Each structure stands twice: as structure tokens, then as C-alpha cells.
Amino acid sequence: MTPLGIEEIQSILGLLDVRRLEMSLVFDDELFEVQEGPLVGNLLADLHTGSPGMGRVGLCTVGALRTDTPPACSIGVKLQVFHAGSNEYREAEILSMQTRPTGVHYYVHYTDFNKRLDEWVTLDKLDLTKEVEWPKPPEPPAPPVSSSHRKKDSISKNSKASRPQKHDGDDGHKSDSMDVDDPTPTDDTKLQEPANFSKEKEIEKLRTSGSMTQSAHEISRVRNLSRLQIGLYELEPWYFSPYPPELTSSPILHICEFCLSYFGCPTRFLRHRQKCDLFHPPGNEIYRDQAVSFFEIDGRRQRTWCRNLCLLSKCFLDHKTLYYDVDPFLFYCMCVRDDRGFHLVGYFSKEKESADGYNVACILTLPQYQRTGYGKLLIAFSYELSKREGKLGSPEKPLSDLGLLSYRAYWQDTIVDILLEQKGEVTIDELANMSAMTTNDVIHTLQTLGMIRYYKGQHVICLTDAILAQKEKLKERQRIKGKRVLDPSCLQWKPPVFTAATRTWNW
């Protein structure tokens, strides 16, 4: 018989379901006596090591999930959660917990799903009848190194001249591949046709690819805003955005659709709208047709407006990490017009001087205008600017999942249209020059579509029957819904020239 104190037995009851554990409890002078068994023995060992249940799979109780402090910590627990979108239970990880007047709420991230699907759920959405996975305990810190050992290490390093070794395949530059599973080929690699390529599988892979953020600290961040109101639209943000903490507790964050100022109080927002005299982005209008207008804004001249734009875009872009250093960037905003002013549809930013030749640093179409052709229009405008500059352009990597889908669709339409219009042979360099795309993007697109074939000792570009059939379906859909196109004659723009002082911060 093993005597246990009250605190220890409460920890046991918080980690295991007593109804499923065969043990006898006897109360005697504030001591519980537990008849040891296999489960109890393992649990007692965990109690004495200070990590009860951590890193193990087992049953869980409601009391264990109601605390966010050890030993029964709910943060990091993986369990089955009811997902309303698919109407089924899916594995999810608890990232945060809040106690509200309506009860305890848990912020969960669904495994193999993008972060924008993370949500707050109540306790009744959690399935506690199945086993849960407790988080692993943190690794113990490394023992401190004595001063004598440090002195010996420094002497040994100074006595022998060493040179940093170069890893295989590391050339000291940032990788320019589109994504990990589908790297962009170089001139030295042999062009091969992808086997069993399926657009549906590719979309599914992008949908479940998860966060594009490389920082573990950023991945663990919880969405801090509930709702956004922009003009006539009320939106639900997808990701964390570093708005002031005092505004995150507001049920709705009100954003002025013209100056992009933000308010937590609706009274202050209405007072601002009566005084705001801005009805278009604060820049030069460089393009106007019957449908849309484009404005060019210098981040150095309009810092406040551009910073507000970055804060807004961070709500819908997980991989965006730049909010305040807007001086080295130009912002190109697309707007639609009505009698009330110019309403922001989307934008893209580009560096004033890009060493890697990128023509887009960040691109976004606001959710209320997505799936209406505006995203492809933004991409087409960025390449139209590259044609005016006489350069080949490419978007900065990595792209988000929706951005990658939009770019692949644009690249495919552009290349197929050029091949259908051209008579005779055309090379990859000619395709790049006519489309203002880089050769790597052209090769990537041709390989994705399976349009590169090996014939009589050389690689040739061919239009397959599947590509032609898909193009006909697209034309039929565009005849019904219409197609948004740019008119290059409406672009009134010359490539700006910047000095070294205007490309960076200048207080």
C-alpha cells in the first residue's frame, strides 16, 4: 500500500478518469491509500518525476482541461474536436484557453489544415471519450560550462586556423524554389515530366500545407481579432495581426476604408468618418479604365497609410512579417470607383531596388473581392510594369497557398495564349521575354503542365490535348462570366528612379 497526500491524489484524478481505473480509495487521517496496479504505478512514477502524463496517450477529464498551469496543462493537448465545416471530428491541438462569461473556450488548430481555419470552440465540441495526446515535457537545460573548460576551448580554437565548411547544395543564398516538394529546376538539371500530376491533388496539398511561417514562435500565435468592419463589409480575420492590444478585446475592429485608420469604439469611428476627407489612396493614379484604377504610393512619403495597410494585410497573410519598415517599398493599390470614392480591392508591394529581381514582395486581394478575377488582374499589372521597365520579374518566395494557386493559373493562361498565337517554333527565352516572366517560372509552369517532352535527342514544348480541352472550358466560362483584362494604353507610368537616401529610412 502506498500512502498519498491530498494534492497528489487530486493530480491523479485530474489526469485519469476514475471510472476507468480499477483502484480502491480509503480515506484515513487526510491520506488516500491506492491499491497499486500497472496504470497507477506508471502514474506515480510520473508524479515523482514532475511530468504527470506528459508525452503519453491516455484518457482526459474535464478538470484537466480547465487549467492552463502544470501539472494538468491543457495547452498543447491533441484531441478530437468537432469541425463544423466538415461536420465531423478531426484531430486538433489546443493552443490557448480563455475563461469567458459563457464558459471556458479553447483555441484549436486542426492538424494538416491551414491556420486560417483555427477557431475558438467550447467544451462540448471536444471529444473526451477517446484518448488524447499530452504534450512532451521540455528538455532539461544543458549543464553550465565551467570557466576552465571555456578557457581550454578558446585556446584550442585560436591555436588552429579553421574555416567554415560549406554544406552540400548550399551556395550561401536564399532558396528561390517555389515550394519544397516542387523545386524550380536550373539549367543543369535534366527536365523531366511529372508523373501522374493532378490539379485536384495539388489543390488539396496546398489546402493542407499549413502555415507558411518559418518561425515556431509565430506559428504558436493565436488570432487576436474577432471581426473587422471595412466599409459595407464585415470580415473574419484569418491570422494574427499586431494591432494595439487595447483594441483586440473589442468585438469588432472598425477600419476606415479610405485612410485605413482603426478604432475599437464605434462612436469614435463614426466621429472620424465625419471628419475624414480622404476618398482615394494617397498616391498617384497611374492607371484608369472603365472598371478599376491603380494608385502608386511611396512608403517613405506615406508611412502611416502604408503601415495601416500592412496591419490590415497581416490579418489575411500568415507569412507576412514586415509591418513598420515601409520606406524601401512602393505600394500599388487597385480600387473600384463609385459616387462615394475609390474602394480598395487589393494591392501588391515591390522593393524600390530588388537585388533578386523580384517584381512583387507581397500581394493580397481582400476576401470580399476574391474569386472574382481581381487577383489575376493584380498579377497581370505587376508584369505589365516589368515590361515597361524592360526586365523579367518574379514574385518573392515563399508564396502563400492561395497566392501560389493564383500565380500558377496566371502563368498557365499566359504561356498557353502565347503558344496558341505563335506560329512555328518558340524557345523558353522567347516565352520569358514576351511574358516578362523569368525562365525559371516558365520552366516550372511547363513542367507542372507536362508540356516538355523529350523528342529526337532534345526537349520540345508541346500543347497536349488535355491542355487544349482545359483552355476551351476556360474560354467558355469567360464568355459566360466575363474576363477582366488590362489595357496597356491606359497605363501612364514611367519607372521611378531613386537615390540611395530615398530607398531606406530617412528620419
The continuous run of DSSP H or E covering 504 comes out as: none
Range(s) of the domain holding residue 19: 1-52
With a cut of 50, say whether residue 120 has pLDDT above it.
Answer: yes
Q: Which of 52, 68, 83 is the last residue of a domain?
A: 52
Q: Does residue 58 contact residue 134 with C-beta atoms inside 8 Å?
A: yes
Name the band, by pLDDT with cuts 50, 70 and 90, for residue 401: confident
CATH of residue 109:
2.30.30.140
Q: How many domains does the chain have?
A: 3
- Assess if residue 297 is contained within a domain: yes
Q: Which of 107, 136, 165 is the last residue of a domain?
A: 136
What nine digits make up the cell of 363? 500581394
- Assess if residue 274 is contained within a domain: no
CATH of residue 457:
3.40.630.30
Is the domain of 299 the same as that of 312?
A: yes
Is the domain of 344 the same as that of 406?
A: yes
Backbone angles phi, psi at 74, to 5 degrees: -85, -15
Name the band, by pLDDT with cuts 50, 70 and 90, for residue 454: confident
**Annotated catalytic, 396?**
yes
- Assess if residue 402 is contained within a domain: yes
- Round to whole Å and give the CA distance between 295 and 279: 12
- Round to whole Å and give the CA distance between 359 and 418: 21
- Assess if residue 396 is contained within a domain: yes
Name the band, by pLDDT with cuts 50, 70 and 90, for residue 128: confident
Measured between alpha carbons, how far is residue 308 from residues 55, 185, 208, 377, 445 in Å? 42, 38, 30, 23, 35
Is the domain of 316 the same as that of 366?
A: yes
Q: For cell 508564396, name the residue.
A: 399
Is the domain of 124 the same as that of 17?
A: no
494-499 mean pLDDT: 88
Is the domain of 311 the same as that of 415?
A: yes
Catalytic residue among 8, 93, 119, 396: 396
What nine digits make up the cell of 153? 576551448
Q: Which of 9, 32, 52 is the last residue of a domain?
A: 52
- Round to whole Å and give the CA distance between 19 and 180: 48
Which three-class secondary structure string do you get for 376-440?
Answer: HHHHHHHHHHHHHHCCCEEECCCCCHHHHHHHHHHHHHHHHHHHHHCCCCCCHHHHHHHHCECHH
- Round to whole Å and give the CA distance between 126 and 64: 13
- Assess if residue 377 is contained within a domain: yes
Is the domain of 309 the same as that of 452?
A: yes
Is the domain of 465 the same as that of 325?
A: yes
Is the domain of 459 the same as that of 431?
A: yes
With a cut of 70, say whether residue 316 has pLDDT above it.
Answer: yes
With a cut of 50, say whether residue 183 has pLDDT above it.
Answer: no
Is the domain of 19 the same as that of 101?
A: no
Is the domain of 337 the same as that of 438?
A: yes
Is the domain of 119 the same as that of 217?
A: no
Name the band, by pLDDT with cuts 50, 70 and 90, for residue 12: low
Name the band, by pLDDT with cuts 50, 70 and 90, for residue 320: confident
Q: 0.85 cut: is pTM over it?
A: no
Q: What is the pLDDT of residue 192?
A: 44
Is the domain of 83 the same as that of 122?
A: yes
- Assess if residue 151 is contained within a domain: no
Q: What is the pLDDT of residue 382?
A: 98
Name the band, by pLDDT with cuts 50, 70 and 90, for residue 501: low
* Lowest model confidence (mean pLDDT) among 99-108, 126-135, 187-196: 187-196
Partnered with residue 121 across adjacent β-strands are 106
- Assess if residue 480 is contained within a domain: yes
What nine digits make up the cell of 450? 507536362
Closest by CA to 294, choosing from 487, 144, 83, 57, is: 487
Q: What is the pLDDT of residue 272?
A: 97
pLDDT one-digit tens code per residue, 186-243: 444 344 444 455 555 554 444 444 333 334 454 447 899 999 999 999 999 999 999 9
- Round to whole Å and give the CA distance between 56 and 484: 55
